[in-house]
Amino acid sequence: MPTKLPTVSESFETILMDRPLPAIIRITLNRPDARNAQDPKMLYELNDAFNISARDDSIKVIILAANGPHFSAGHDLRTKDPVAQLNEFEPVGTWCGFSCKGAEGKMAVEKEIYIGFSERWRNIPKITIAQVQGKVIAGGLMLIWPCDLIIAAENAQFADSTVSMGVCGAEFFNHVWEIGARKAKEMLVTADYISAQDAFRLGMVNQVVKLEELEQFTLAMAQNIAKKPSFALKLVKEAVNNCQDAQGRVIAMQSSFALHQLSHAHNMDQHGMPVDPSGIISDKVRAASRFAGK
């Protein structure tokens, strides 16, 4: 039997869920005042929403949208004690040691709520569409890249500012598969924004539409997909994902994640914090911080 969709007031504080059309469910990030920056609560609630959607056999397409002018500013830089928030939720993965000191604890947290969630969402057996407007920074990419399709408004811009902070890229290191090796290097080492039009040209975005048409265009595409047999949709998604994985994506992702942890460990040793403070003074990182509510 299909899973009953709970009411927002009963279940979630940071996201919304609705059924705009038959066989389609929409999950909406709902922290617009913080530019939808992600804290552990939002990520666990988002994961619960994906679980509800995946287990409902009446649903064929999941839309991931966001309230406010920007899709996501990435990780919420104001989160002081993510471990305390993690303790409020049942772990999804098998990793442990969130409260351990040093690199062990930092890696455990990011294994669970960052790369762990992104990989999990990538393999949901439903077609997922990211509906994107405004800025998408660093951790925000880890929400849209696991989706099967990305529809972007003309004002959408994408950036990974982590190298400016002394870290070698976001935890879900899918850059090369999204835009190619050379452009990925440019994106990372410059921290410059990629426009919606360039993202479309590079193959990261499926369609670019006017902001005022974004919602209806996304719904129309979802409705078209929802006409297809659900089992065929599940299988073709798995087939394409398997092609990427056969190219070595999983091993490369694990290696990149390990290097990401080395960055944190180095910064903790040298600066007493997971990031290099000298990079935080750059204009681009200042902008990222503002979007995260700093």
CATH 3.90.226.10 fits 8-291, yes or no: yes
Which sign, positive or negative, has the C-alpha torsion 226, 230, 232, 237? positive
Q: Residue 281's pLDDT is what? A: 52
Question: Domain locations in the chain?
Answer: 8-291
Per-residue pLDDT of the chain (294 residues; tens, 9 = 90+): 334 444 433 479 999 999 999 999 999 999 999 999 999 999 999 999 999 999 999 999 999 999 999 999 999 877 767 777 788 888 999 888 888 999 999 999 999 999 999 999 999 999 999 999 999 999 999 999 999 999 999 999 999 999 999 999 999 999 999 999 999 999 999 999 999 999 999 999 999 999 999 999 999 999 999 999 999 999 999 999 999 999 999 999 999 999 999 999 999 999 998 999 887 655 444 455 444 444
Cβ atoms within 10 Å, residue 27: 23
Q: What are phi and psi of 81, to 5 degrees?
A: -135, 80
pLDDT of residue 87: 82
Q: Give me the pLDDT at residue 31, please.
A: 95
- Confidence (pLDDT) at 293: 44
List phi, psi (to 5°) of 242: -65, -35
Quick check: 22 and 31 in contact, CB under 8 A?
no
Cβ–Cβ under 8 Å, residues 155 and 196: yes
Q: In a 3-state reduction of DSSP, which class is residue 209? A: strand
Main-chain phi, psi angles of 276, to 5 degrees: -85, 115
pLDDT of residue 4: 45
Which pLDDT score, from 0 to 100, does residue 294 have?
41
H or E element that contains 19: strand 15-21
Q: What pLDDT, on the 0 to 100 scale, is given for residue 83?
A: 78
What's the pLDDT score for residue 11? Answer: 78
Q: What's residue 195's pLDDT?
A: 98
Query: CA–CA separation, 127 vs 144, rounded Å?
Result: 13
At residue 82, the pLDDT reads 75
